[in-house]
Every structure is written in structure tokens, then in C-alpha cells.
Structure 1
């Protein structure tokens, strides 16, 4: 006599709901679908573009590094639209916004990621070196936000803007006065933009990374003395991966953060609550 095997019971509502939630978290269907990402050829910008595309979006990737953009486009496919240009050039920025309007049908979000630093003590800095850093990390954020917001307002559908600032908006960095001042300015600019643009349904928030494993941080990551101090004082004992900044940045731009604006999210692995290393001996 053969054994009778009872039919499997249908999954419970709780199990089905849990599965749907897990799928939603993995795919983040509320992520923006039409975005401009500055600094998108490498580092955090590339990681944000990669995350947006994985979540079903398309990206106008805006960066001075045209070769890096071409390489990234080969990796990320047709939804990564390379747009070479400078965040300090209003004409280049307007061209990127026009590209989003023509190729993507509009603009849901802007990620201000492009950054640069030329370190040096204040007494040795010349005006050109100061301007180079501040123009990219602060003036560039203003210009990109201005033209992206104009596009969003014309469309009348709201939008979201994320500014990638730095934990050095809060913590001074020896030899990095221009960078720290620019990043602090960018963080406060994001709050002011949130205040002004909220009436148009546009949310603006900032993310403040600590040390991230990117090409721009190479002068720190490749210095054994600096890294020994970071490892001694950092709570999580390691730099972040770019993807660990992409996830919170995309969250802030997504529908899941629909009631968050004017906020600064520190994503630094605990550097701010640890002891920041003294870089004076290394510069």
C-alpha cells in the first residue's frame, strides 16, 4: 500500500507578506527612475549609478573623465548615459539636464557627488588651489541643484536631490581647510535648498561619508601611518565600500524617504564618535 502524502498547505499570509517585503527591499521599486549623477565615472558616483540601474532606473552620468564614463557605460549598459562635463560650467550642467529631459523624458532626482581635494596647510595655499576645491565641492553643488530644480519645477512632479557632503563638514581636517569648508557649506546649502524647494515637492538631503575606498582617498588609503591611526580610532575598523554609500543615498532619493527633507545622514562607520587622526605629520 502506497503512503498517502498530504497536499502542501498554501503559504500563510505572514510568509507571503514577508517574501514580498524582502523582494521590495532587494529591488527598491520606489527608487527614482530618471536621475543625474555627478562624478559618476568612479567611486561613490559610479556606485550610485550602478545601484539606480539595478533598481530599474536610468542615469545621465555626468563627469569630467570621459574615458572613465566610457568604461563605466560598457559595464552598466544602455541605461548609463555618458555625459562628459564639469560641475563648475553652467553650460555643461544645462546640457546634462537637457539630456535627461530628452533621453529619459524628465528628471526625478539629482545626486551631487563630484568632489576633489588638493590638500595643503593654510599658510601655503594659494587662491587658485583654494578655488579649485571649493568650486567643485560647493559651487558645483549650487549650480547642479539650480538647473536640476528648474527642470523639476517645470515638470511639476516634484523630485529629490541628494548632496554627498563629508564627515569633514563636522570634523576639521589638517591640510584640508578648503575641502572641509566647502563640504560644510554644501551640507548647509542642502538644508537651505530643502527650505526653498519644498513648496515645489522637491526634497533635498545630504549624506556625510567618512573614509571611503575610492580613488580620491588614495593619498590616505596608501599611507600606512595614516591608516594605522584610522584603524586604531575607527569604530568599525575599516573604510567604507562605495556601495555602502550608494544604498543610503538612493534611499534618501526614493519614495521610502518621502517625508525626509533637510536632513544630514552621517555614514562614517563611527569615525565622528571616535578620534580623528592628526594628519599634520603626514602632510
Structure 2
């Protein structure tokens, strides 16, 4: 029998039109939820209802812009009357060697990955408090929150910050019945990783370090996120769930031969 853990709930999923975000959206709808998908991809947002169904509303949003994030939360409340869960999925990487990295380059990584999670957490939590408490925030971090990678100073540092933000938010908000947890995926088969895994030698370097012997499917990361957002995880707060096929046990591959 299909699960229905999210019947009559309202969620926001940022970065929700592709990859992990889209998988989370599909699962929420399948389990009875209503969703506001926030994304910077205007073309995909325009066809959101066609893609995910009538219980999903798409909204263009720049998650590094405070007014844009506030508007997304307001959209959820205006359309559906409440907010129950917020999934901070939007992110990305602009790689570069530390000694060559400009401050603008650094700030791009911090803004896209850490500032967006901060703003989503801030405005979702404020709404939860207005509703009298309760609510769930899930921050999608990365295995790079724990493991550095060559040319990943900005990205890895930002994702480590997402994990500490998660713990800080759980500390401050737990007394109000608000749970905040993180998920740190390993290598996932998404459009963002395709440029790497389409190169056989790079894919082999990764797979050599992943005991599971394969990439994760976005649906597998979504399943972990929905577990943490559900009542099944009612006493889990401030945690970082690593979903990596045991990759962290072996270390990060040295991709310098491929990076130039």
C-alpha cells in the first residue's frame, strides 16, 4: 500500500525542478502532499503543474535573494493556507584552485549553497513560529561537508557550513517543536554530475571509492529526506544523515589529472 505520510501537508522545495529536488517533489505528491517548487529555471517552472500535477505550484525564485525567499514562503501560505516543511535543495558548485580563486568566485559558492540554506531556514522557521510551532526543515548538504576535494574550497566550505547551520537551528528551534536536519549525499546521478560521469575515466575514479559500486539515484536521496521530514523521525533533530553508499569510508578520489 502506498505511504501517505504527507497527506494535507504543504511543503516548499527549492531547486525542485530537476535532480534531487524533483525527486523530493514527486515523492511528496505521491504521499498526498501539496508543494510549492521554487527554482531559477523559468522554463521548467512554467510547466511545473504539467510535470508534477495540480497539487504543485511553481514559482521563480533566486534563493540567494532575501526578498525572493520571503515571497516563496508567502506563496505557500497564500495558495495552500499553511507551511509544514521546507526542503533547501538549491545549490551548485563553481570549482577552482584555492590560490587562484577570486573573492567573487568564493562568494558565489557561499551564496548559492550556504546563504540560500540560511534564508530558507530563517523564513520557514519564522512562519512555523507564527503558526504556533512545529514544522520541519531539511537541508541538503553534501558528502563534501565532511570530505574536501581538489578545487572545491568554496563548495566544501559552504556545505560544511550548511551542516553547522542545521545544528544551530535545531538548538534554537527545537523547543518550539521545529526539527531541522541535513542530508549529505554522495555522488548522485543528476544533470549537475553528468558532465563528470560522462567521462569514463572520471566515473571510474569515483566508483573505485564507492563500495556500493554505483551512483545514487535521486529517488534514494529523496527517500532519506522524506524520512527525516516525516513523523517516523519525530525524535531526530540536528543530525546530518550521510547517504553515500559507504563512500566516506574510503576517501575522496584525486581528480587533479582530469581538472587541469
- TM, length-normalised to structure 1: 0.89
* Structure 1 segment 39-58 matched on structure 2, within 5 A: 39-58=15-34
Q: Which runs of 5+ in 2 are unaligned?
A: none
204-213 or 214-223, which deviates more: 214-223
C-alpha contact (below 8 Å) 2:85/2:137 kept by paired residues: yes
- The counterpart of 1:120, out of the listed 75, 96, 101, is 96
| Aligned equivalent of 2:139 | 163
Partners of 1:168 and 1:130 lie apart in 2 by 16
- Is the counterpart of residue 242 in structure 1 residue 218 in structure 2? yes
Partners of 2:21 and 2:137 lie apart in 1 by 14
Deviations 1:80-129 (A, max 9, x none): 10010111111111111111111111100000000110111112211111
Question: What SS does the aligned partner of 2:217 have?
Answer: coil
| Aligned equivalent of 1:71 | 47
| Aligned equivalent of 1:20 | none
* Structure 1 segment 1-283 matched on structure 2, within 5 A: 23=1, 26-29=2-5, 33-283=9-259
Partners of 1:31 and 1:128 lie apart in 2 by 43
Partners of 1:134 and 1:223 lie apart in 2 by 27
Q: Tell me: CA distance 1:116–1:131, structure 2 relative to 1, closer, same or farther (3 Å).
A: same
Deviation at 1:31, TM superposition (A): 6.7
Q: Which runs of 5+ in 1 are unaligned?
A: 1-22
Q: Tell me: CA distance 1:260–1:215, structure 2 relative to 1, closer, same or farther (3 Å).
A: same
C-alpha contact (below 8 Å) 2:48/2:57 kept by paired residues: no
Deviation at 1:130, TM superposition (A): 1.2
Question: What SS does the aligned partner of 2:47 have?
Answer: helix
Question: What SS does the aligned partner of 1:261 have?
Answer: coil
Deviation at 1:281, TM superposition (A): 1.2
Larger Rg: 1
Partners of 2:79 and 2:73 lie apart in 1 by 10
Deviations 1:196-244 (A, max 9, x none): 0111110000000000011111232122211111122211111111000
Runs of 4+ residues deviating >4 angstroms: none
Q: Please report the RMSD computed on the Cα atoms of aligned residues, expressed in angstroms.
A: 1.3
Deviation at 1:28, TM superposition (A): 3.7
Deviations 1:175-195 (A, max 9, x none): 111000000000111000000
Partners of 1:138 and 1:62 lie apart in 2 by 17
Partners of 2:216 and 2:18 lie apart in 1 by 15
Number of corresponding residues: 259
Question: What SS does the aligned partner of 1:196 have?
Answer: helix
| Aligned equivalent of 1:5 | none
Partners of 1:47 and 1:34 lie apart in 2 by 16
